[in-house]
Amino acid sequence: MFLITLASVATTPVYASVKLDYSTVETVTNRCFTEQKWDSVIVIGKKALHQHIDYYYLRLRMGISYYQKAEYFPAIIHLKKARQFNSSDPMAGDYLYRTYFYTNRNEEARLLRASMPREDRDTVLDKTGFVEQVHVESGYTISSDKSPSNLSTLMGKDSVYGERDLYGNSLYSNLGLKLRVSNRVGISIDYNYLNFTKTKYIQYVRNEDQLQSITDSSWGKSYNYSFPWVIHDTSFTYHVMQHEAYVNASVALPFGIKIIPAFHWLHVSYTMVNPSYTRDTVSDTAFYTSYNSTYHTFPFTRLTYSYARKDTAFNNYVASLRISKDLGRLTLALTGSWSDLNGKTQKQAGLSLTYFPFGNFNIYGSTSITGFMQGSDSRLLYSQVLGLKCTRWMWAEANFHYGNFTNSNILNGSVVYNNTDIIDYRGGATLVFMAGKHLQFSLLYQYFRKESQQLYYIKTQDPDTHAIKETPQYKTNPYNTNTIIGGITWKL
């Protein structure tokens, strides 16, 4: 009667007052396990562990019960403990391997597979070789900044010159490989190509001589001029091409610790447009004397702009490191990076927590906080990811990154924001479609809120000398980009 009562109340708080012993725990968990009452096995098992009752079959039943409920992360904890009690039983190893497989812990799965007897390896789920995965994706970005909305006032009020260098639409392509080097080490290699369309808009004003009239007289002709301020607009379209290579090594250590060093190389090339001006002295006709048939001129200063073009190329680098620790339903990670982007040095240090509330990938999330330092510029960057399994063959994921990510990197250096515009925030969503065991498709959307810089000059007068000076000023103009990326992943 005692055993029946215990089993019937196992899912309520009443059982907490019951004092357990080994015989009771063994009998009740075995019965519940045989009857596939997985929740009862877990509840009684937790109570037994709390009362310091711990042995192989208890951990095995709890691990398998969690597995049957598709709560793979807590299943790993109990199945690993079961193997510590008895490593010769293939059942614990088989279920543990499967939990590793379903939680994408490939290194741990390979290590466990290597320790299995050869006759048990034929039933394992993963039999890939040196090349584990091939990924290809490409996308297009539409920018609202491809033409300035304030071109008529590009110079600003009372200015003589103004310019904006705007990012237009862009193209992105990626090819990635995942390689298996050893049971503990995996390597990922990626090549990215980006092509940005940019336009430099320039506006300037200058005094220009305009002939208004010619007056005839008895001695000849007089030429009458005005010198109004005339505004000129011009623009130059060019392309910024970026080739990138990214490599990381995932090293699995004991106790659920993983170390991932990474290196990202970026080669940027484009045609630089350098505006310059000269003050030239030129002459116009002042009058004509008929008695000697001579034209008389007068000198004045004319401002002339020129635009030199020069092919420019440079390299950027990012070195990063991620250290993570698996804690059942949680994964804690520390990240750090050093980078040399756009002629400046950056340092980052961050902390992230990934959580699986239901013990699997049905619902998951990741929260990250990163400190960014670039000289005297210090920032705090925040990232949030939420994922959901919508159907048996489709996952959806949303992400949001808040803060100025200019010259920073995310995802252990795999994504680098090295363009010169200010990034206010970024949001996006991803859909992943499973097409069998080896093939999956992805569709990704990204939204960026950015700010481009506008250069103009203001005129100021020295109070002592009354000399007029032209001082450069900068203004930011918000804009947004929308990106769609499609990808195919082939798991060998």
- Output the domain CATH number for residue 279: 2.40.160.40
CATH number of the domain at 115, please. Answer: 1.25.40.10
pLDDT digits (tens, 9 = 90+) for 6-40: 544 454 443 445 788 999 999 999 999 999 999 99
- The pair of three-digit structure tokens given for residue 424, joined into one six-digit string: 């206010």
pTM of the model: 0.83
- The pair of three-digit structure tokens given for residue 37, joined into one six-digit string: 């009452």
399 and 383, same structural domain? yes
pLDDT digits (tens, 9 = 90+) for 130-186: 898 999 999 999 999 876 666 667 887 767 888 888 999 999 999 999 998 888 899
More confident residue, 121 or 252: 252
pLDDT digits (tens, 9 = 90+) for 310-369: 999 999 999 999 999 999 899 999 999 999 999 999 999 999 999 999 999 999 999 999
403 and 267, same structural domain? yes
How many structural domains is the chain composed of?
2
347 and 215, same structural domain? yes
144 and 110, same structural domain? no
pLDDT digits (tens, 9 = 90+) for 410-452: 999 999 999 889 999 999 999 999 998 889 999 999 999 999 8
45 and 7, same structural domain? yes
174 and 289, same structural domain? yes
112 and 159, same structural domain? no
Which of the listed residues 65, 91, 123 is the one where a domain comes to its end?
A: 123
The whole domain housing 67 covers 2-123
Which of the listed residues 75, 105, 123 is the one where a domain comes to its end?
A: 123
Report residue 470's pLDDT band, with 50, 70 and 90 as the boundaries: confident
Phi, psi at residue 274, to the nearest 5°?
A: -115, 105
pLDDT, the chain, mean:
89
85 and 146, same structural domain? no
290 and 416, same structural domain? yes
135 and 105, same structural domain? no
300 and 216, same structural domain? yes
76 and 58, same structural domain? yes
Report residue 128's pLDDT band, with 50, 70 and 90 as the boundaries: low
